[in-house]
């Protein structure tokens, strides 16, 4: 069984469980960051792209890469 990495983020009005293997990319949108999942589902987070990248890069076996000022891709 795969070791799945799960992170919890605050959205507009709830706490969202994000399974990192399902994330295609993070996209910065001024004060919010949009998370795009496989299957065209997305959520908006109350977090900066820099803070998200810091969290992801500190995780073991992270497959995420920052691309420019606006994207983190898986």
- CA dist 24 and 72 (Å) reads 9
Tell me what pLDDT residue 29 has.
Answer: 84
Collapse the DSSP code of 57 into the 3-class scheme (helix H, G, I; strand E, B; otherwise coil) and give the result. Answer: helix
Tell me what pLDDT residue 14 has.
Answer: 86
Tokens coding 14: 């709830």
Judged against a pLDDT cut of 80, whether residue 35 lies above it is answered with: yes
- More confidently predicted of 3 and 30: 30
Confidence band of 1 (pLDDT split at 50, 70, 90): very low
Judged against a pLDDT cut of 90, whether residue 27 lies above it is answered with: yes
Confidence band of 26 (pLDDT split at 50, 70, 90): very high
């Amino acid at each position: 069984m795969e070791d799945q990495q799960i992170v919890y983020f605050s959205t507009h009005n709830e706490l969202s469980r994000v399974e990192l293997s399902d994330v295609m990319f993070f996209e910065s949108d001024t004060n919010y960051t949009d998370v795009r999942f496989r299957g065209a589902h997305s959520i908006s987070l109350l977090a900066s792209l820099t803070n998200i990248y810091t969290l992801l890069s500190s995780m073991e076996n992270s497959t995420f890469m920052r691309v420019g000022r606006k994207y983190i891709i898986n």
